[in-house]
């Protein structure tokens, strides 16, 4: 089945044509072009690109997403039963951060956004097999917000710096979406 897929997901490397990627947001294009590979090399984040399956690595990138380990930090004094803790004391929880997710402008309206999101969820599901995480922390621009709402992601009101640009996908939902995607990839129709 994988051989017939029109796209393949690869970890970013130097032969990928990042300079030709354009999603319509200069900051995101710039991240992929100038920073993503360096962040990979320093272990700060992992970027995955979607490439047309029949094309070489040097072909134009259809879309990408970037993940990194993250920590949700809540001031200890939020909890009544920790009121004897020092002011700087925090409660930390492990979470994955989706830093970027974008598709090339030429693929607008072709289902690449949802495809990238589900591929991202599949990667997070694999991470959750190996390390404890409570979910995915999703950062977004106003333009990207619609995709997260289409996935019924919830505003991350628990985040200490909560604003409209932060959403969360609990690990339980990551598991069920990834399981459904696996069925699709194994050739079971979802309808």
Return the exposure string of 150-167: e unless at least 16 CB atoms fall within 10 Å of the residue's CB, then b: ebebeebeebeeeeebbb
Neighbour tally for 48: CB within 10 Å = 18
Q: Which of 31, 13, 11 shows the shortest CA–CA distance to 21?
A: 31
Q: Count the site residues for other proteins by CB under 8 A.
A: 45
Whichever of 31 and 61 has its CB closer to other proteins, that residue is 61
Tokens of 27: 């900051």
Q: Say whether residue 49 binds other proteins (CB under 8 A).
A: no
Footprint of other proteins on residues 115-154 (CB under 8 A)? 115, 117-118, 134-135, 150-152, 154
Q: Say whether residue 114 binds other proteins (CB under 8 A).
A: yes
Torsions phi, psi for 111 (to 5 deg): 80, 10
Q: Say whether residue 177 binds other proteins (CB under 8 A).
A: yes
- What is the spatial distance between Cα 77 and Cα 74, in angstroms, rounded to a whole number? 9
> Min. distance of Cβ 129 from other proteins in angstroms?
18
**Which spans of this chain sit near other proteins (rule: CB under 8 A)?**
4-7, 72, 74, 76, 78-79, 81-82, 84-85, 91-93, 109-112, 114-115, 117-118, 134-135, 150-152, 154, 158, 168, 170-173, 176-177, 180-181, 184-185, 189-191
């Amino acid at each position: 089945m994988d051989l017939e897929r029109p796209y393949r997901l690869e970890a970013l490397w130097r032969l990928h044509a990042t300079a030709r990627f354009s999603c319509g947001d200069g900051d995101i294009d710039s991240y992929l072009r100038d920073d993503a590979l360096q962040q990979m090399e320093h272990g700060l984040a992992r970027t995955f690109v979607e490439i047309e399956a029949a094309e070489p690595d040097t072909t134009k990138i259809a879309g990408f997403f970037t993940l990194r380990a993250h920590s949700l930090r809540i001031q200890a004094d939020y909890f009544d039963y920790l009121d004897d803790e020092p002011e700087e004391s925090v409660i930390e929880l492990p979470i994955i951060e989706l830093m970027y997710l974008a598709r090339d402008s030429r693929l607008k309206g072709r289902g690449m956004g949802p495809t990238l999101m589900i591929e991202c969820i599949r990667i997070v599901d694999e991470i959750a097999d190996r390390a404890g995480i409570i979910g995915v922390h999703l950062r977004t621009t106003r333009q990207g917000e619609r995709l997260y709402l289409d996935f019924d992601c919830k505003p991350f009101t628990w985040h200490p710096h909560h604003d409209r640009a932060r959403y969360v996908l609990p690990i339980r939902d990551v598991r069920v979406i990834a399981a459904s995607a696996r069925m699709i990839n194994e050739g079971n129709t979802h309808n």
